[in-house]
A = this chain, B = another copy of it.
Amino acid sequence: MKPLANPTYLRALRGQSTDYTPVWIMRQAGRYLPEYRATREQAGSFLDLCRNPELACEVTLQPLRRFPLDAAILFSDILTVPDAMGLELSLNEGIGPQFAHPVRNAADVERLPVPDPEDELGYVMEAVRTIVSALDRSVPLIGFAGSPWTLATYMVEGGSSKDHRRVKAMIYESPQVTHRLLEITSDAVAAYLNAQIAAGIDAVMIFDTWGGTLGDRAYREFSLAYMARIVSQLNLGDENDPDGRIPVTLFTKGGGQWVEDIAATGCDGIGLDWTTSLGDVRTRLQDRVTLQGNMDPMSLYASPEQIRAEVKAVLDDFGSPGRHVFNLGHGILPDINPDHVAVMIDAVHSLSRR
């Protein structure tokens, strides 16, 4: 396999020196781009787009044509895994994701299969292979999945939820049933990510969007333990060949308080939202892992000068060059002006150049 033309993102995650701080954006292939909206319309629904490898490849590449991003990320959705587990996903404009068969009790949990990813999620693997081929080793491709806890919130609630009351009640009323659900979901996620690795991704990202709604003890027991289990099950390559190893980044939104425990899973990177000081976390972890983040997505509403100032503030907070991957602290919002994104990326590259 030929080397990457731009390995900056992978080097930063491996703790190797880089010429500047690499940057990518959560949801960089998304609604803020007019070309994305056009392809999405061509595809039909959001799910039709996820299930069409050619068009999923097209929207994955769109932000890279506009901006000098240091990584691509597979276009897909975290809920494809519970869908493949038989919950039957639908995504409706204005309502959000809904499952026809939510998981409500022990019997529902015991019925859940661990799907074969090449069989039940073949469209994702085909998209990965198509994107890998199209990227032609220009920048790395990040594959991803939702954390078992985050997937479980949707699986139990039957969709999005303001307060996750049903799944939170489940952990307190039926902790054993919850653990069984998380075990099965973990095995499904690990198999799914290993299939993405086999299909050619260069790095793994696990999104734990709702881990931060858990209590301090419950987070360790119901979310982090299962992300650790997945990390240990992934085929990340030879530990003695750092250039071959596939780095894993864990992102728990609202998880800034738990970074010591997150680092102990053996992950290579930790994603942080904007409520956490990168500098504080760096001091706490002593550069043992790479930090990803963490500009407030809302700061992209500001003027170009203020965006540059915010980028500088994030870089200054991190401090001297080191294990940093620049990103927003959460996904980019659909009404952000793409020109503002260009300003942010240019500021990251120019202000961080060694």
Contact = CB atoms under 8 A, between A and B. Distances in A.
A275 B214 contact: yes
A276 B214 CA distance: 10
Interface residues of A, number: 34
Given A217-B313, A256-B257, A298 B329 contact: no
A329 B219 CA distance: 15
A172 B274 contact: no
A169 B301 contact: yes
Contacts of A277: 216-217, 257
A221 to B, nearest CB: 11
B218 A165 contact: no
Nearest to A170: B301
A254 B299 CA distance: 20
A317 B165 contact: no
Interface string A244-256: 0000000000101
A35 interface: no
A298 B216 contact: no
A299 B170 CA distance: 10
A15 interface: no
A296 B217 CA distance: 11
Interface string A138-178: 00000000000000000000000001010011001100000
Contacts of A218: 296
A303 interface: yes
Which 10 pairs across A and B sit closest by C-beta, in order of nearness?
Answer: A172-B302, A168-B298, A215-B274, A169-B301, A216-B277, A215-B296, A172-B299, A256-B257, A173-B302, A172-B301
Given A169-B302, A216-B276, 7 more contacts: A168-B301, A169-B301, A216-B280, A217-B277, A254-B254, A257-B257, A257-B275
